[in-house]
Amino acid sequence: NAGVTQTPKFRILKIGQSMTLQCTQDMNHNYMYWYRQDPGMGLKLIYYSVGAGITDKGEVPNGYNVSRSTTEDFPLRLELAAPSQTSVYFCASSYRGTSGRGEQFFGPGTRLTVL
């Protein structure tokens, strides 16, 4: 099992550009999440999904969009990138929601810089 994979690992964007961060998991997990982590800050939940076709906003969804057409994939779309979106983005998945063990499996992250 590869677990949770993310691409790209690094990206530099210009203000106003768009991009999609890819996330794939091969553990057949229903739940998937997108977080951002800024220096010295905790992880903030951007969007999450409890299954294919279902997505919900997290704590900081503005400026982002997601889709969940399959169980495996959960891409994050940035439209009109802004310097405030410079961060490390982590995708995660879990077998059950937080009512379960609470273990989330994280991808290696995407380091995004917006200049």
| Binding residues vs another protein (CB under 8 A) | 35, 40-43, 45, 48, 58, 90, 98-99, 101-104, 106-109
In whole angstroms, the minimum distance from the beta carbon of 23 to another protein comes to: 12
CA pair distance 92, 23, nearest whole angstrom: 9
| Residue 53 in tokens | 């076709």
Residue 16 or 100 having the CB closest to another protein: 100
C-alpha closest to that of 2 among 108, 97, 84: 108
CB of 44 to another protein, least distance (A): 8
Closest CA to 48 of 103, 90, 6, 17: 90
Q: Choose between 18 and 96: whose C-beta lies nearer to another protein.
A: 96
State how far the Cα of 107 lies from the Cα of 73, in Å rounded to an integer. Answer: 12
Q: Which is nearer to another protein, 14 or 39 (CB)?
A: 39
Cβ at position 42, least distance to another protein in Å? 4
